[in-house]
């Protein structure tokens, strides 16, 4: 295990918790941060007993984004050699068959905003502030920012945030759809964990197909999405978990799902 300097990982029952834990307090994204994230994602991918993931910060800020000292040494050759890996890293949470929830407090800038865009649900504390200011530094977002932000908030808002480098607060982020939930700062982690556990206790096969179906609908035609619904329904109907869910409902007891 080599992570722990920038990120920590622990379990709370069947929920995995990734915490941004840089002692300097800004959780800047650099080489060590990215390598630790990659290692933790591998652990999550291999652990088939996990049913949800929460990403949060242990400090006053989620993340102030890329470490400019790290960025200063990035060349075109580095980008050609590494950008596919970096994009895959930030998109990997979308490929997991379980829900991934981001709990955001304080600053969430640049690369950190791109990180939460790859999550399934974003919960913001009322003190959160968002910005994606890469253009100010002679760049354009390259880890999913122009792609996922446009899908999430629409082309006009994406252009405003990226091209004007606007900074917005949690209330505006909620209004435009950048986050799904806003809560008082002191309730942030409680709300995120409560939602994660609720989703973790639902049938895992149904959760996997629901996430896949929604992602597909966001990226393809209505016809292709309906075809996927037909396929997933054929698979899900008659599974052990579906039968267990129905029996437990009628028997007024907590269901026990096995993922099959």
- Of the candidates 35, 58, 95, 134, the residue annotated as catalytic is 134
Asked if 122 and 150 count as a contact pair (C-beta separation under 8 A), the reply is no
Crossing angle (nearest 10°) for helices 31-46 and 76-95? 30
Cα 37 from Cα 88, distance rounded (Å): 12
**3 state DSSP class of 43:** helix
Q: Which residue has the tokens 């002679």?
A: 138
* Cα–Cα–Cα angle for 152, 153, 157, rounded to 5 degrees: 145
Asked if 59 and 27 count as a contact pair (C-beta separation under 8 A), the reply is yes
- Given 3-state DSSP classes, what are the helix, strand and coil percentages for the chain, each rounded to the nearest 5? 50, 15, 30
- Of the candidates 36, 114, 180, 186, the residue annotated as catalytic is 114
Nearest to 192 by CA among 112, 106, 97, 124: 124
Active-site residue, 190 included:
no
Active-site residue, 167 included:
no
Catalytic residues: 114, 134
């Amino acid at each position: 295990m080599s992570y722990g300097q920038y990120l920590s990982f622990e379990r709370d029952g069947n929920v995995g918790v990734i915490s941004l834990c840089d002692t300097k307090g800004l959780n800047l994204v650099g080489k060590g941060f990215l390598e630790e994230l990659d290692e933790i994602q591998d652990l999550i991918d291999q652990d088939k007993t996990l049913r949800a993931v929460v990403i949060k910060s242990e400090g006053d800020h989620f993340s102030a984004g890329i470490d400019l000292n790290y960025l200063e040494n990035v060349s075109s050759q580095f980008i050609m050699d590494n950008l596919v890996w970096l994009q895959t890293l930030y998109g990997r949470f979308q490929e997991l068959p379980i829900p991934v929830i981001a709990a955001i407090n304080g600053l969430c800038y640049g690369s950190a905003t791109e990180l939460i865009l790859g999550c399934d649900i974003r919960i913001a504390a009322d003190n959160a502030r968002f910005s994606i200011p890469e253009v100010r530094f002679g760049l354009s977002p390259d880890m999913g920012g122009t792609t996922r932000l446009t899908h999430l908030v629409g082309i006009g808002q994406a252009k405003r945030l990226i091209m004007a480098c606007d900074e917005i607060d949690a209330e505006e982020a909620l209004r435009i759809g950048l986050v799904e939930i806003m809560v008082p700062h002191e309730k942030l982690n409680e709300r995120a964990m409560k939602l994660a556990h609720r989703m973790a206790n639902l049938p895992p096969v149904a959760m996997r197909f629901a996430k896949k179906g929604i992602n597909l609908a966001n990226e393809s035609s209505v016809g292709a999405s309906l075809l996927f619904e037909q396929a997933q329904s054929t698979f899900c109907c008659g599974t052990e978990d579906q039968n267990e869910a129905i029996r437990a409902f009628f028997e007024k007891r907590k269901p026990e799902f096995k993922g099959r």
